[in-house]
Structures are given as C-alpha cells and as structure tokens.
C-alpha cells in the first residue's frame, strides 16, 4: 500500500492511498502563480455578502431542479478548459463560444444571469461573472453530495471568443489523447481521472455514443469493451440514426444515479465493470495510472471527494484574469462595451 499526499490550500493535507507499486505523479496544490484570494469580496470590502447571496440563489434553484448541479459543472468545465476561467462561455452572439458544436446542450445560463442581477442590485459592478460561475458550481455540486471546497476569488471577465476557438475534445477519444488534452491545460492524470468522475451525474446526447452501440470504428458492431447488457439497454433509447426532424435523444451518463443527480463514486465502479456510457470514460482502465486511481476511488468515496475538491480548484485557476486585466461585466451575456446596446 502506497500513500501520496496532496496539499490542498486552506484545508489541510489530503491523503490518498493507492494499492500497488506504480508511481502516480500528481500535483500537490494550485499551479503557481496563484493570483486569486480567499473571500476576495470580503477582504476588499467591496461586497461582503457576495458568496452568501450566490449560495442562497443556488439553493432556491436546486430545490426546484437538482439538474442544475451537472449543468453548472459542464458549463464551468466548458469555460475554464477553453480559454481559462473568464466567463467567455456566457457571452451571447451569432458566433460566440456557446454556439460551438461541442457546447450544444449547455445549460445553467439562466441561473448565472439571475444571480448576476441580484448582485448588481446589491453591489453594482463588483462581482465578476467568472467568480459567480465558480462559486455557484461549488454550491450546486455540494448540495448534490460533493465537498464544499474553498473557491478562491478575484477573477475578472474576459472578452468574446469565437466558436472556432473552442477545442473541447470528442467524448470518444483515447485515454492518451484525453491525458494530452488535460496536460495542455496544466492538469495531470489525477485531475483528469477525478474530473471525469463528474459524469456520475447528468446526461449526454445519443449522438455521442451511437458509434459505440452500432458501428464501433466502422466494424458494424458495438464497442467490445462495453457490457452487452448496457449496449442492449441504450439501444432502446438511442436509434442508429435519427429521422428528419427528430431530436437527438438524451441518456443518463450514470444510470445508477439517474434523475436524482447525486454526486457519488458509482461512476468508477461502472468504469471497472465496463458499464461506462461514454467512450472516454471507459478508456480510464487502459492507462496504468488512471486505472489505479479509478480502483481507489471505487473503493473510497472519501478519497474521491477530497481529490475532487483539489481538482476543481486547480481547474478553476486556469488562465484567470486578475488586477486590471479584463473587466467586471454588468451583464454576463454581453461585454460592457455592448451593455445596453
């Protein structure tokens, strides 16, 4: 039994024990330089109760619709992993980031817009949309069962990013391609394996898995790594092709949690038993490090929760704008130059 220690700022030491002898190289904290601040709006005396206002709104939304947890998680991922956590994904426009094919079906925008309106009435022009998105996601996933991890704040909002700049990968890539993508963002194999665990809740379109069900790599057969029972179940919901005018059906990423949208480690047991819905998830067993981490998280929900806290903080610090960079939008949907236009 081997142990490696993760330093998690403002909490303590997070210890994850992995069975076996392989060496997993993992980060021990946020990537330097860390330009964000703990309770920024309180420390700067600009909006003391900003985080309380955000939490209250999230709680109100969550009581009516628990699906806001996976929706906000995906929205934050789609923002941070493309150009950094600058809330550019929230901007509207005919060729904006949110119109990219990879962002089809993104949700959670209404929640962020509502929170922003509330904050603008209490602390006008102070709280960034980027911070709102990070804080609201933390609060929503906490209500779903994740840890209430610290969110450092002080981000500022970025400008318009065109749809063709979105480089989010296909959900059918290999584990090597997935790891290369995460590494290009300053994240590592532990971050990747942990953040993919967010697929313990939420839905995906059938178009993302139809190749696994019917014609894997042009073989005319289903993905041989997929449990045959799962193939049969998903085929009842996902036809080999949609008819003209027919919508692309949605299926649960984790049928074990389904509509409850509970954050759990059951995702990892599904991966180990070849019951992952997305190809990229099933691929975790084909890399020594991600396989070892998957086995550990399957055995210990607490280890997964601790690692999730660190991974979310690391993702939330990617290419942030601080100081005089960027702006504080008055409306999350438009830059200040277009505000009121």
**Is residue 232 annotated as involved in ligand binding?**
no
Is omega for the bond preceding 333 within 30 degrees of 0, making it cis? Answer: no
Does residue 74 have an active-site annotation?
A: yes
Q: Is 222 annotated as a binding residue?
A: no
Residue 97 among known ligand-binding residues? yes
CA-nearest of 58, 68, 64, 143 to 106 is 68
* Sequence-ordered list of residues with C-beta below 8 angstroms from that of 233, at least 6 positions apart, any chain: 255
**The two structure tokens encoding residue 55:** 């939490």
**CA 96/CA 102 separation, integer angstroms:** 12
| Residue 84, marked binder | yes
79 labelled as ligand-binding? yes
User: Is 14 assigned a ligand-binding role in the annotation?
Assistant: no
Residue identified by tokens 């003209």 is 244
Q: Among 2, 55, 74, 314, which one carries the catalytic annotation?
A: 74
By the 8 A CB rule, do 84 and 158 touch?
yes
| Structure tokens, 229 | 């029972």
Task: Enumerate the H helices of the chain as residue ranges.
Answer: 40-43, 50-64, 68-83, 109-122, 129-143, 175-184, 189-195, 210-214, 228-235, 266-272, 279-282, 288-299, 301-315
CB atoms within 10 A of CB 170: 12
82 is in an annotated binding site: yes
Q: Alpha-carbon distance 321 to 288, whole Å? A: 36
**Is residue 199 a known part of a binding site?**
yes
**Separation of first and last alpha carbons in the chain:** 62
Pairing assessment for the beta strands 12-18 and 250-252 based on DSSP bridges: unpaired
Q: What are phi and psi for residue 8, nearest 5 degrees?
A: -110, 115
Residue positions forming the annotated binding site for substrate: 169
Residues with a known catalytic role: 74
Residue positions forming the annotated binding site: 79, 82, 84, 86, 88, 97, 169, 199, 256
Residue positions forming the annotated binding site for Ca(2+): 79, 82, 84, 86, 88, 97, 256
């Amino acid at each position: 039994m081997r142990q490696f220690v993760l330093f998690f700022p403002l909490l303590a030491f997070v210890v994850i024990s992995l069975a076996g002898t392989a060496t997993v190289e993992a980060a021990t904290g946020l990537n330097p330089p860390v330009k964000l601040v703990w309770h920024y709006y309180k420390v700067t005396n600009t909006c003391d109760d900003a985080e309380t206002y955000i939490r209250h709104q999230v709680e109100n939304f969550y009581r009516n619709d628990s699906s806001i947890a996976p929706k906000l998680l995906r929205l934050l991922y789609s923002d941070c992993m493309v150009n950094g956590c600058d809330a550019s994904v929230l901007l509207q426009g005919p060729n904006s980031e949110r119109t990219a094919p990879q962002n089809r079906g993104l949700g959670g925008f209404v929640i962020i817009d509502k929170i922003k309106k509330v904050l603008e009435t209490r602390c006008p022009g102070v709280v960034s949309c980027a911070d709102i998105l990070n804080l609201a996601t933390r609060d929503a996933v906490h209500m779903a069962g994740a840890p209430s991890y610290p969110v450092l704040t002080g981000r500022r909002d970025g400008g318009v990013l065109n749809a063709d700049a979105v480089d989010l990968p296909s959900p059918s890539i290999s584990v090597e391609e997935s790891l290369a993508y995460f590494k290009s963002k300053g994240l590592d194999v532990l971050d990747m394996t942990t953040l993919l665990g967010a697929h313990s809740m939420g839905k995906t379109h059938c178009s993302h898995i139809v190749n696994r069900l019917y014609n894997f790599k042009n073989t005319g057969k289903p993905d041989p790594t997929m449990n045959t029972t799962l193939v049969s179940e998903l085929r009842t919901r996902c036809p080999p092709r949609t008819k003209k005018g027919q919508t692309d059906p949605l299926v649960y990423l984790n049928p074990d949690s389904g509509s409850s949208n509970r954050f759990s480690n059951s995702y990892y047991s599904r991966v180990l038993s070849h019951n992952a819905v997305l190809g990229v998830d099933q691929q975790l067993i084909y890399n020594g490090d991600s396989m070892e981490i998957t086995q550990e998280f399957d055995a210990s929900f607490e280890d997964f929760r601790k690692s999730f806290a660190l991974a979310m903080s690391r993702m939330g610090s990617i290419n942030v704008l601080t100081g005089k960079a960027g702006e504080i939008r008055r409306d999350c949907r438009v830059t200040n130059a277009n505000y009121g236009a």
